Structure 1
């Protein structure tokens, strides 16, 4: 430091008037040397002019190191500029700096460590210069201790406030609240302001005031109380339970009570619940058993005594295996391992054994038991005897399996549906009936929208059925998946909920489509049969009359000259009789009473034979298409009848195509299966020769189609059709053991399909036609119709034959007995009163073994033929017959039987 700067600290010259100043300076040095606080003096430039030894302890520098240095060396860098600014302001303003209150400033120790300083400042002027002196005290440690005390107080305050227990401080003996924490306010419902300065009695906190008084006396006597249970009443709440622990303390010389209150309401409730649960466990009918992890029985309730038959004293401490049959012993280790893994086993069904040795079925729920630390120390098992229930279940399952089997295998459709038509359950028969692929697919449908053809039918059914709760035999039309309509007959009943509301319907459905179809076909067949019998009866009598007309026409024609003016009348009479005969032949064909001679035929050849005729028949505006199966095979039928079938069907098609069209005739070999045969009355399975005739005509509706085979039914105008064409086709097909079906829709044409049984027989060899000649043999004529009998005898006599005439069977038998001459041929009617022609021939054959027989009839009634087919070796001339036909058949009979007798 410059000498000028230090001069102010030197003593005054001897003899000077400043002796007191020297004494003061000496005093200052003594004070500064002995002071425990650092004393530092600086000038206006912040140069240290004086520093005592105590400063060495504060800042770590020696006195010599600090002298003549700037005071900023003892400050952190960030304070130096502020210090210089403050000194500058003091110098400029001339304002004195005196600090009666110590300042807290940060200093810098020689080690670089910042220290907290408490500084008191003063100044004086010396020779015009301002001198600043500061007393500096290091308060770093004191500040740290104060801070730690404050932190400790804050921490303890927070701990008290954060405590879950209610903590309060009350004065003694006044018992007034001095301090409470937040848990106290939560527990009691009172705020701190509401209880401060008040006693518990002031807020009516304790339920038992006597208990409170006794507790305070104990505190005063013993200085503390521990875990005292009591009841208290929170603000506006229900009474709760708590424990009180307290100590007596002295605060500022005043005795006080520091108490901790803990709410145990939930614990008390839990204890009550546990006590209640214990009573339930003890009185439970279920066996409740405690067990250790090594499989020992630890507890045993009364229910266990009932279930297992042991008393608690008999089993507690014994291994659990005494309850387990030998074949179930392996369960126990596994169960114990699962318990150790803290698993809970629920409703485990097994078998246990009673004390008496009987095995029982039990349902067991096992739960792990843990100690306070959460460690598994055992298990509790609740077992219920389900032996009776298992037997019931097994019986029920057997019953259910039986029922399910019945439902699953039932041939009838069975389903459950809600009121709005939602299907709940269906069986396989219903799935098959409706043509679906699976039950799941059908269950996605709604019976009202997807099954019933007319939803209103179901709606009406539900309305009528719901009040009665069941129905039987109700028929409805259903729609299959493929769109096909079927008829079903249903029986159902309602299943109700407990409140009598509808749960669902259970319905049994039978597909009666085939039955209804067969019934319709049967009714049609019966009707056709009845009409056929009527037609056959008419034809029989009519043929007799026509035979007389034709025979006498032939006689007249034979005796007339070539130019006789009556010849035309005779021809007209014969023509009319022949047309009438054709009409009766159609009637007999329909009734299947016409006698035929079926032969093995090639259907393809028959079609080709009449192809030209068909072209002329249908006209040029109709295209004829013929498709023949080369591998057709043969059938057995009457050739003439087969030609009639083809022509009648062609005519029917022609009339259905007035504006032209296409007529297709097809043949094919087909195999009809059992399913087709079951669905079509009159059809049977096997190989068939099929003839199909199709047209592109106007077609027919279902009503018209149902009548087409009835005699005299026609859709043509009056006088343009007899109505016998298709009925004759029907009769011929049936008589040939065939089957005919018609398919038609309005505007889409018609197809007839005829199925003739296929035969393995070969085609017959063609025979040469016999020459018509008479003879001299004796013929016994038996006919109950006088006119026809007389005519027949005349025709035979005119041809050289000797004729014996009989009006009936009795007359014929007498003649055969009485006549001495040989009778060569019996010519007899088939249908006669009292005895038919076959019986007559049998009786006469006994009298005359070599008698030949020729039957004549237009209506055999299966006497000499089966379904119109003559028995083998039987000859017949059909009424009405002409002279030539009669003579041809008589000659054939005489010659054929003569050859047979020779062989």
Structure 2
């Protein structure tokens, strides 16, 4: 037979145990009889009110309360004595207590009712709220401080629930969107979204529910008057004390001026590129006239020959005149090609990138870059690798870079005994194609090499000093790099790499 479990006798009421519990209680504990007189006053009450027990026993609770709560208590006591109804029994409330020295402090007082020796007795529990109220005040101050920061922010600060309804709306949001807080709070934030961007809200909320923030997302929102505004949006999850996501905080910044500045900068950059090309053409205008004079003179000569042949009686004149006219046409076509290349080069237009053969671009640039008498004594070597992968470029801009490098190379060799120009193209690897322009000129000093690509740095007497700076910016805008190294044979080598189209697609 299993032994029965040991069950101790139920505890008996022990007055000494009760006194020990009351005495050790952290909160103040008092017992008050039906006449409102204190019969129990524990140690916590003594520390709280600064009275010794014997000073309050037999006295009314009113002596422990500050006005007007003292008068209110006395009124409740009279009501109880007259009607037997104990107002407030079984409940608790915040009051103001008063210590022996007259200082006041916040308390929470709760009253329970019972019977002792057949008479009604009230147990009063008192909690000092001083620390709690100080904490409340600190929290209130912090909330007020944060609210002031939010309200004074130049950025729109908005909070919303996880179903996208606005819960807070600061002053900057009112100024940015034109809606008051009363108009927006409680309404879906998507009323600010353009029709073609409504899907953004679902994606944002999905991200927030997963606990992930969204930073500096540039988009467009709609003001109350219907006008669009460019904005940068940062959205962060709001969590409760347990770490659960309960909403989202959104900071919205007006970036209209930023977008306008970027557009102005882009326009200025395009204008500067155009000015640089025009400047290059200004330097070679005389050479252009000389270059065009040759095919135009040939056209004139061939047409004169054709006229004489047609006027003669020679039986073979027909065939010869046809040949002369054909050659005149070829020379006219040559002149037209020169003019077309120059017009495309100087023309102000929007940047357009197309798939190009870098070898063909290099050959066209060579025809422009070496126009003029200063290039007639230069030995030019083209080492163009076959089967290069195409590059996605603005053809005119890359020609601008090459023309600048070629003309710089030709001018650098003006005083050199050996004038050799080598233009090379090759594949660096599967991802990059390189173009090099090597000269045997005077070279570049180490001191100048450090500043060579900065604006307004030049070795030319009448140079603007912007050609290489613009060339580098063009190459970098294409995802490439432009550098200069000494030529082992004397002179310099300017070289740039460009990503092949395959790499751009990947």
TM-score normalised according to structure 2 size: 0.45
Bigger radius of gyration: 1
Specify which structure has the bigger relative contact order, considering alpha-carbon pairs within 8 angstroms and separated by 6 or more residues. 2
TM-score, L = length of structure 1: 0.27
